[in-house]
Structure 1
Amino acid sequence: MPAHDDLALLIEAARAAGEIALRHWRSDPEAWDKPAGAGPVTEADLAVDRMLAAELTAARPDYGWLSEESEDNIARLETERLFIIDPIDGTRAFIAGEETFAHSLAVVENGEVLAGVVYLPALDRLYSAAAGEPARRDGAVLRVSGQAEIAGASMLTTGANLRPEQWPGGVPEIRRAFRNSLAYRLCLVAEGRHDSMLTLRDAWEWDVAAGDLIARQAGAAVTDRFGAALRFNAQHPQTRGVLAAPPALHARLLEKLTRG
Structure 2
Amino acid sequence: MPGPEDDLKLLRDAALRAGEIAKQYFGQDPAVYDKGAEGPVTEADLAIDVMLRETLLTARPDYGWLSEETEDGPDRLDAEHVFICDPIDGTRAFIEGGTSFSHSLAVARNGKITAAAVFVPMRDKLYTAALGAGSTLNQKPLKVTETVNLAEATVLTTKANLLAHHWKADIPSVRKAYRPSLAYRMSLVGEGRFDAMMTFRPTWEWDIAAGALIISEAGGVVTDGYGQALQFNGPAAQVNGVLTGSAAVHRALLDLRPAFTG
Tell me the TM-score range normalised by the shorter chain.
over 0.9
Query: 1:21: which partner in 2?
Result: 22
User: 1: CA distance between counterparts of 2:145 and 2:46?
Assistant: 36
User: 2: CA distance between counterparts of 1:153 and 1:81?
Assistant: 36
What is the identity percentage for the equivalent residue pairs of Structure 1 and Structure 2?
A: 51
Query: 1:2: which partner in 2?
Result: 3
Query: 1:201: which partner in 2?
Result: 201
Q: 1:67·1:87 contact (CA, 8 Å) conserved in 2?
A: yes
Q: 1:127·1:187 contact (CA, 8 Å) conserved in 2?
A: yes
Q: What does 1:83-232 align with in structure 2 at a 5 Å threshold?
A: 83-232=83-232
Q: 1:169·1:259 contact (CA, 8 Å) conserved in 2?
A: no
Query: 1:73: which partner in 2?
Result: 73
One-letter code aligned to 1:197:
M
Deviations 1:67-123 (A, max 9, x none): 000010210000000100000001011011111000000010000001000001111
The Cα RMSD (Å) is 1.0
TM-score (norm 2): 0.97
Structure 1: 4+ residue segments shifted above 3 A: none
Name the SS of the counterpart of 1:243 in structure 2: strand
One-letter code aligned to 1:143:
K
User: 1: CA distance between counterparts of 2:126 and 2:258?
Assistant: 34
Q: 2:157·2:176 contact (CA, 8 Å) conserved in 1?
A: yes
User: 1: CA distance between counterparts of 2:214 and 2:11?
Assistant: 13
User: 2: CA distance between counterparts of 1:85 and 1:102?
Assistant: 11
Q: 1:104·1:207 contact (CA, 8 Å) conserved in 2?
A: yes
User: 2: CA distance between counterparts of 1:137 and 1:111?
Assistant: 25
Query: 1:12: which partner in 2?
Result: 13
Query: 1:54: which partner in 2?
Result: 54
With over 3 angstroms needed to count, the CA separation of the structure-2 counterparts of 1:239 and 1:81, relative to structure 1, is same
Q: 2:32·2:43 contact (CA, 8 Å) conserved in 1?
A: yes
Name the SS of the counterpart of 1:257 in structure 2: coil
The number of aligned residues is 259
How far did 1:259 drift?
Answer: 6.3
User: 1: CA distance between counterparts of 2:186 and 2:167?
Assistant: 21
User: 2: CA distance between counterparts of 1:209 and 1:96?
Assistant: 25
User: 1: CA distance between counterparts of 2:144 and 2:21?
Assistant: 31
User: 2: CA distance between counterparts of 1:51 and 1:248?
Assistant: 40
Deviations 1:121-140 (A, max 9, x none): 11111000000011100010
Query: 2:247: which partner in 1?
Result: 247
Q: Does 1:33 align with 2:24?
A: no
One-letter code aligned to 2:27:
R
How far did 1:161 drift?
Answer: 0.6
Q: 1:101·1:181 contact (CA, 8 Å) conserved in 2?
A: yes
User: 1: CA distance between counterparts of 2:249 and 2:103?
Assistant: 28
Name the SS of the counterpart of 2:230 in structure 1: coil
User: 1: CA distance between counterparts of 2:149 and 2:231?
Assistant: 27
